[in-house]
Structure 1
């Protein structure tokens, strides 16, 4: 068979395209295309189009067209994403790696220009801007100015890459959030590529170096997050090897009630699907309720796919998709999309639903206003229950107007119930006097100190943003103000947002309540909330206050939003505005007033909340095609700061030895064409002993750089003042900083140093407590390999490649955990670190391991996928604990990457073999 046997013409107006008729291929295989989930159809099209009987073989096509609802063992296919999407935090180290690969190829005497993206790659700079300034009209310009001052070396690297690499585009800073730019402009849905007699039309697919890449699923584009190292392999023309997934269907019925937003819906779905256990599975939405959701509602739901643990949260193309493409200035594209999807059975009509592994149903009318927190997105709290939930967080029957009574149960910081009694605070409220701008205020437990309308989750959605503006308008008309201790910010994901908010006349009301435009970027959601007022920070620290942040984001892990804020709640922009006005989370906004007007009258949430119809009228009147066309016509140009960057085009990058931002990493030191196959691990030490739900925020350096931690000390030793440390994220291109910050979250709980938290471990056999980095370097000098012992859901969270890179550079050879989040497991393999799992029902605690043992792992030679290995743990008294673990090298390609020391060395060796 040849795939050209299934090449057919597609007429769109006066233009003829060629497409690959995968429904006919399925029919020839005895499969009705309508029975396959839409996401599986996309994979079928991809493999048929790429079929060459060398990389994509007939067995691969047979396996995907014969999709099964369940698989006893992984079945691997070579998938070729059409595009790569990057943001700057993960994009900068990826560009550093590509530059280092060019140096390595040059050292081998080959042409470094061969290291070049072969797949279109777009990088959007959105993760670096921080909310240092807020509450004034000058906040945006000042924040961007400071962003460039902090990050000019990184941005010079990116501008060099834009000039020096083919197939590589950069959306400069101050433009928008990568996922919203992808949704509004970069997403093609159907791609047309010149070739032969007619352009080839095929389905748009993308992998992104950010876990929220599935937001593009909202317009029917298959996309998910991968590690930077995997993305680099795709960029360099390598297939993305993946296991054929199970597909969970979510049938939506009914309609959302008045007063309920898409954010409330996605928090409900996140809670529901975490219970269903959809990790490493595809999720597809269907049913009559789907038709009632706008594309931006769908994008909100798709965005939080990693929060419910799935790979995809897919919405197939329908009439609303076409209308959205036209609205966003892609009218010609919409014609091709309509013709292609209708010709291939990819247009969802609702007449015939596919077969799924499992179907979960949700009646949209049952969704109620909600928040999620204090530290996990899946921990949904119904709005009326927030006051009680915060009492549980404090561990007491908390009441601002009564004495606190001790209770016998509380929920710990990870949301788990704990039956031990907690020491109650003496009285409620714990309120302290404070002077802010000469004005006396009281601040205590439960007060909100950050209220941020931020993140791609919600700033793609005009309905909730217009709704927030209407709440602001109503609040101003009633004389309400936001308390002075609340740091307010508005950071939209697209410049179009400001166009329609201004056109609707709502920006004066945002500003009146302190929500001035602060940035076009991720800001608070990724920890770039900026500093609090120094007096507020001092009061929080001195009294160990449990203050709160409310944000319209998708992540609220421990110490992520701000290191001194313990309770962080995700909410719609509309509820963020309401809670900012209230100034506290220990409140039931369904019955208690949001505030008191100047005449002493209470103002309730129902007095402020606009009707659906009112919001819809504003959206229809002011969200128009001209705004999208105007903003995206200049999306790659950049502002005056970008234009001023002085970079020269060159084949290899000119590394600056004095730079503390960009350094040539050591991954290719001593590199040879022939790999050294890893052998058994002998007499390793446990570097860390960790519990459940350790996130990549715990592992990967993120947020502020503490002065007394090794990374801070490194910067000081290199002449950097503490005020210029910037964040770990901004220094991701410097491995010296990043490896010192790995496992450095101030909230990480290493049981070797329990109850102490932070970047500390115990160095054995001396039994000496040290910083993680210092201990790792001591072990390295001794030639002692390291392992990490973990629990369930190891590596959950964002697709942070430094969680794996730092693990590798610290000398960790293997991780033994009870289970892994998909992306982090992939990244560990991509860096040559061996991921292992305990046998079912076993754990470090179950086996009696306390981390003081020496560990030997045998059976690593002659590796095969999912191989069972033997572990011997020897205690100080000579007693032994023997147990088996399973390698989570799931596929032959995983084994190949591991044996090559990671993806990048493997790619270089393949390049050299082909030259």
Structure 2
């Protein structure tokens, strides 16, 4: 922390006999001006700048600019931010470690020291994305799924074990432990971080970036953190600051309390809808108001988790007594809790009753007005109040209940395992208690267990076509279910433990029963999943399930009992009880008193027990043998881990930045194209380019695993780019699937095959899209695959924050249509060629204008301007070097030359 401390703000703090050094915000304010009403989240950034002042990356001018934000409550000033640590999950972590291994190989090839490629900041990688729901509704499901996971992912896990030994400051939490965000909340996060330098202990706010968009969950604990692409995260751990503009901060005032029967999930879906409508992309959201005094930490974490869904960089909660209570409950050392209280109060980071910071804009919600809700069927911001779900479903598929003018189509008959029934549109075929959003929250988890108990007592069972699963975020959850006596009831309804991981929410729902899959395909049924997750984008949960609904865990159980989203479960019976009488949701919904009584079973001993040896892993993990080498020994026959081509020419000159001529359009896409559409995480189709590649390398379709698990192999991932079965290319009339029209041949080809043909002819490529391009997960392969396909630029109406940054980080130009223009107004069909001009012989600068000349098939020409979304000076340097990792590696090679 090389601070010049030009404001003379360094002080000491005594806590329980320990001396801590810190940079005092109040002392700095003597020179800078009053900061008492600066948003808490910006105070964290201010402290970061004070601590890293060096007159190179951080100057006194940068520090003053952050304080001066209060005058206009917005800024176009760029700052360099250094988070304390980095968090990864394995889907994004594996390609990040592959990149680090490739950088070491490139460094060695250039004659440098490969040990220079090493994390400088602590990195925790939690393996949570690989377990699939292959087995369910049985006491053996967990053990069998873990066994299958270890068999499928042996190569990946061996590689991560190598990384664990090869890199300093790099820890791996083994599979079967929990979801990275819940492990972060329950164990890794500290709220106040400490570091020893030259015998002195420094205290400062805990901050991080993570390679998963839901890193934001930790903001519920007063820890500033957000998701970045793996590319940015690697640069951060290698010592590069995160370049960012001082953000606008939207204040969200919470008042009142949730009513009886309303859950934290209902609250977060309401908040998500409100903030999406407001428009908070690229902004901080900070929660304030006296309603926070009654908002449990787990509820705060639930709201903070969904920041990617409402579009914000983060959703920050200040530190208060509730924060301290959670730190104690979860087993943090008492000395650390006392430090959090003392440091937060002395720095003005402690929430006081009635405090209202200055914000760029504000919203307000009386929590007493929140209604029971789901979100769906395709976007997390599309909230539907519970009684309206059947209507919302019917509107999606263009059906009406019992239409008078025609008889309903025959529903396919299904027989399996002693059950016989007709499967219909709207059938809930997946009911999953899954994902980080809700499985960290004892109130909604206990509510699900209590509802299961009451359902069993009434004589209800889940419908036989429902694939049910329970995937908690940590082992603490199963401990408190057991302590509350609720496990047997969940098991009896088929919600047996299937694994500790994300499972269904990230597309690892596993196969449906074969007769059900056949029935869906034969009758082209529109069926549903109901999950307690945060993502319900098209094609994500399961390729055959077209509508996906986000709901609280107790509502997941309720829909498993009802078996259909065409039943209004708020007023219609879920089923018939053992007494022959109809059973309604109101009959089995647990009271707040019952939930509170169950939550009382959660104690500190559970956390301490489950996190005592968090990095050790089970016997299978410990048995993995890996070579103790500085550079990785690449296996040519591996279909999981391959040496990527990104750094092949790193010793040569940086790439020439020039105009792009005679580019072809690879695809024309609409609004809300997600990173799932661009780089799917789930199922690999046997006849897709990736499937053909795997079969050619001797991999049977049953062993394909998922795109997410194969992110360490660029050959699979570039073939999977734009291969989502639900992506719609307007060049083919909006037809679904990862295909395009090759011009000038006019052939319909898989996007990968067309891109390779264009590469053979030396033709540069462009993607054209609508609004919110790249929403969703912080998926670096959405940018890496785009680069490897030969795409030089993406022209869209707007970009989601992380994906825009990732495109720059991979040397792809993000270009934005000017207001009032889009692909439709400009008549872009995909048959044109484009020249992108304004780069030749020009010094790049942030947000410059470029011109695009359109050459149409009839020989006519037309021009328009675009905004180049290289937003900061750092990004300019990264782009000129060929990408952010190229920039870092070139610097390291130069230092060793």
Per the alignment, residue 621 of structure 2 pairs with 642
Q: Deviations over 1:685-707 (max 9, x none)?
A: 00001111111000013211100
Among 545, 560, 563, the residue aligned to 2:525: 545
Per the alignment, residue 800 of structure 2 pairs with 821
Among 850, 865, 870, the residue aligned to 1:869: 850
Is 1:155 equivalent to 2:151 in the alignment? Answer: no
Q: Deviations over 1:366-391 (max 9, x none)?
A: 00100000010000000111121112
Q: Deviations over 1:873-896 (max 9, x none)?
A: 101211012101110001111111
TM-score (structure 1 length as normaliser): 0.96
Q: Partner of 1:762: helix, strand, or coil?
A: strand
Among 738, 750, 754, the residue aligned to 2:729: 750
Is 1:532 equivalent to 2:533 in the alignment? Answer: no
Per the alignment, residue 667 of structure 2 pairs with 688
Among 829, 833, 841, the residue aligned to 1:850: 829
Per the alignment, residue 474 of structure 1 pairs with 454
Distance 1:258 1:126 in 2: 34
Q: Partner of 2:213: helix, strand, or coil?
A: coil
Distance 1:286 1:72 in 2: 19
User: Could you say if the C-alpha distance between residues 687 and 646 of structure 1 is closer, same or farther in structure 2, counting changes exceeding 3 Å?
Assistant: same
Per the alignment, residue 859 of structure 2 pairs with 878
Per the alignment, residue 379 of structure 2 pairs with 376
Is the Cα contact below 8 Å between 2:7 and 2:28 reproduced in 1?
Answer: no
Is 1:23 equivalent to 2:26 in the alignment? Answer: yes
Q: Deviations over 1:21-80 (max 9, x none)?
A: 0222123212x2221000000000000001111221122111112224757773210000
Give the deviation of 1:676 after TM superposition.
2.3
Distance 1:448 1:74 in 2: 48
Is the Cα contact below 8 Å between 1:34 and 1:352 reproduced in 2?
Answer: no
Is 1:314 equivalent to 2:316 in the alignment? Answer: yes
Give the deviation of 1:846 after TM superposition.
0.3
Give the deviation of 1:769 after TM superposition.
1.0
**Range with greater deviation from structure 2 (435-444 or 652-661):** 435-444
Q: Deviations over 1:300-325 (max 9, x none)?
A: 00000000000010100000000000
Give the deviation of 1:432 after TM superposition.
2.7
Per the alignment, residue 730 of structure 1 pairs with 709
User: Could you say if the C-alpha distance between residues 446 and 17 of structure 1 is closer, same or farther in structure 2, counting changes exceeding 3 Å?
Assistant: same
Per the alignment, residue 546 of structure 2 pairs with 566
Distance 1:587 1:3 in 2: 66
Is the Cα contact below 8 Å between 2:6 and 2:60 reproduced in 1?
Answer: no
Is the Cα contact below 8 Å between 1:87 and 1:210 reproduced in 2?
Answer: yes
Q: Deviations over 1:156-211 (max 9, x none)?
A: 11000001100000000000000000000000110111124531000000000000
Per the alignment, residue 442 of structure 2 pairs with 462
**Range with greater deviation from structure 2 (15-24 or 731-740):** 15-24
Is 1:701 equivalent to 2:680 in the alignment? Answer: yes
Q: Partner of 1:33: helix, strand, or coil?
A: coil
Q: Partner of 2:36: helix, strand, or coil?
A: helix
Alignment of 1:231-250 (within 5 A): 231-250=233-252
Is the Cα contact below 8 Å between 1:677 and 1:900 reproduced in 2?
Answer: no
Runs of 5+ unmatched residues, structure 2:
none
Per the alignment, residue 490 of structure 2 pairs with 510
Is the Cα contact below 8 Å between 2:764 and 2:790 reproduced in 1?
Answer: yes
Give the deviation of 1:459 after TM superposition.
0.5
Q: Partner of 1:129: helix, strand, or coil?
A: coil
Is the Cα contact below 8 Å between 2:770 and 2:822 reproduced in 1?
Answer: yes
Among 385, 396, 399, the residue aligned to 1:396: 399
**Range with greater deviation from structure 2 (122-131 or 381-390):** 381-390
Distance 2:446 2:41 in 1: 33
Distance 1:512 1:27 in 2: 64
Q: Partner of 2:691: helix, strand, or coil?
A: helix
Is 1:206 equivalent to 2:186 in the alignment? Answer: no
Distance 2:62 2:148 in 1: 51
Distance 1:69 1:513 in 2: 57
User: Could you say if the C-alpha distance between residues 238 and 511 of structure 1 is closer, same or farther in structure 2, counting changes exceeding 3 Å?
Assistant: same
Give the deviation of 1:670 after TM superposition.
2.0
Per the alignment, residue 900 of structure 1 pairs with 881
Q: Partner of 2:112: helix, strand, or coil?
A: coil
Distance 2:368 2:68 in 1: 37
Among 281, 289, 292, the residue aligned to 2:291: 289
Distance 2:799 2:404 in 1: 40
User: Could you say if the C-alpha distance between residues 860 and 70 of structure 1 is closer, same or farther in structure 2, counting changes exceeding 3 Å?
Assistant: farther
Q: Partner of 2:209: helix, strand, or coil?
A: strand
**Range with greater deviation from structure 2 (430-439 or 96-105):** 430-439
Q: Deviations over 1:285-312 (max 9, x none)?
A: 0101121110000000000000000001
Is the Cα contact below 8 Å between 1:711 and 1:737 reproduced in 2?
Answer: yes
Per the alignment, residue 809 of structure 2 pairs with 830
Is 1:712 equivalent to 2:691 in the alignment? Answer: yes
Distance 2:416 2:407 in 1: 25
Per the alignment, residue 678 of structure 1 pairs with 657
Per the alignment, residue 117 of structure 1 pairs with 119
Give the deviation of 1:555 after TM superposition.
0.3
Q: Partner of 2:763: helix, strand, or coil?
A: coil
Alignment of 1:244-643 (within 5 A): 244-330=246-332, 331-398=334-401, 402-403=402-403, 426-428=406-408, 431-620=411-600, 622-643=601-622
User: Could you say if the C-alpha distance between residues 505 and 516 of structure 1 is closer, same or farther in structure 2, counting changes exceeding 3 Å?
Assistant: same
**Range with greater deviation from structure 2 (761-770 or 158-167):** 761-770
TM-score (structure 2 length as normaliser): 0.98
Is the Cα contact below 8 Å between 1:679 and 1:860 reproduced in 2?
Answer: yes
Distance 1:760 1:71 in 2: 45
> What is the alpha-carbon root mean square deviation over aligned residues?
1.2
Distance 1:20 1:427 in 2: 74
Is 1:768 equivalent to 2:747 in the alignment? Answer: yes
Is 1:57 equivalent to 2:59 in the alignment? Answer: yes
Distance 2:421 2:336 in 1: 55
**Range with greater deviation from structure 2 (746-755 or 221-230):** 746-755
User: Could you say if the C-alpha distance between residues 210 and 255 of structure 1 is closer, same or farther in structure 2, counting changes exceeding 3 Å?
Assistant: same
**Range with greater deviation from structure 2 (640-649 or 461-470):** 640-649
**Range with greater deviation from structure 2 (867-876 or 95-104):** 867-876
Is the Cα contact below 8 Å between 1:9 and 1:17 reproduced in 2?
Answer: yes
Per the alignment, residue 96 of structure 1 pairs with 98
Runs of 5+ unmatched residues, structure 1:
406-425
Q: Partner of 1:666: helix, strand, or coil?
A: coil
Is the Cα contact below 8 Å between 2:269 and 2:380 reproduced in 1?
Answer: yes
Give the deviation of 1:396 after TM superposition.
2.4
Q: Partner of 1:777: helix, strand, or coil?
A: helix
Give the deviation of 1:821 after TM superposition.
0.4
How many residues are paired up? 890
Distance 2:197 2:741 in 1: 60
**Range with greater deviation from structure 2 (660-669 or 432-441):** 432-441
Q: Deviations over 1:740-786 (max 9, x none)?
A: 01000001001111242111111111111111111111110100000
Distance 1:659 1:809 in 2: 20
Per the alignment, residue 632 of structure 2 pairs with 653
Distance 2:137 2:699 in 1: 30
Q: Deviations over 1:448-503 (max 9, x none)?
A: 00000000000000011111000000000010000111000000000000001001
Q: Partner of 1:35: helix, strand, or coil?
A: coil
Give the deviation of 1:734 after TM superposition.
0.2
Q: Partner of 2:501: helix, strand, or coil?
A: coil
Per the alignment, residue 414 of structure 1 pairs with none
Q: Partner of 1:159: helix, strand, or coil?
A: helix
Distance 2:617 2:497 in 1: 18
Q: Deviations over 1:666-687 (max 9, x none)?
A: 0011222531231100000000
Is the Cα contact below 8 Å between 1:189 and 1:221 reproduced in 2?
Answer: yes
Is the Cα contact below 8 Å between 1:871 and 1:883 reproduced in 2?
Answer: yes
Q: Partner of 1:188: helix, strand, or coil?
A: coil
**Range with greater deviation from structure 2 (528-537 or 439-448):** 439-448
Is the Cα contact below 8 Å between 2:289 and 2:355 reproduced in 1?
Answer: no
